[in-house]
Amino acid sequence: MTENELADVRSRLEHAHRQLDSLRSRHKDAQDKLQAAGRSNERLTGMLEATRNQIAELRGALEADGQAPFTFGTIIGYRPSRDRVEGREIEAASGVSCDILHGGRKMRVSVSPSSSPQSCTPDRRCC
């Protein structure tokens, strides 16, 4: 081999070493990013599961709040159905309802369609 050929081979070898160092550096950066993304993914997965559990709890609480109470109250007055004032009242406010006294609190409750208006007389115990 001549000196020129030897210098050319050395130059290509140095260039290959620089490329190899560059590739190793890029590989290490990619591994670091992958590990960071994995940690972030684990954290987000945990948050998603916690949020799902909270939604399930809230859904259960909402369903429980929508259940009719199993307590008794005293009817104070009966309010027959009337026409709704459009834009000022919701439909439930214009339907058949009773004012009751329950646990020392006055409340207005809807009357079940299966109940007759005659059963809603003042001073009567209702459930």
Per-residue pLDDT of 24-72, as tens digits, reads 999 999 999 999 999 999 999 999 999 999 999 998 888 877 776 667 7
In the predicted model, what is the mean pLDDT of the chain?
85
According to DSSP H, which parts of 67-124 are helical? 91-94
89: Cβ contacts below 8 Å, ≥ 6 apart: none
Burial class (CB in 10 A: 0-12, 13-18, 19+), 111: buried
Rounded-to-integer distance, Cα 121 and Cα 1, Å: 118
Residue 41 CA to residue 39 CA, distance in Å, equals 5
Provide the pLDDT confidence category of residue 9 given band limits of 50, 70 and 90. very high
Q: Which residue has the higher pLDDT, 117 or 53?
A: 53
- The confidence score (pLDDT) of residue 71 equals 72
- Rounded average pLDDT over 69-79: 78
CB 124 within 8 A of CB 74: yes
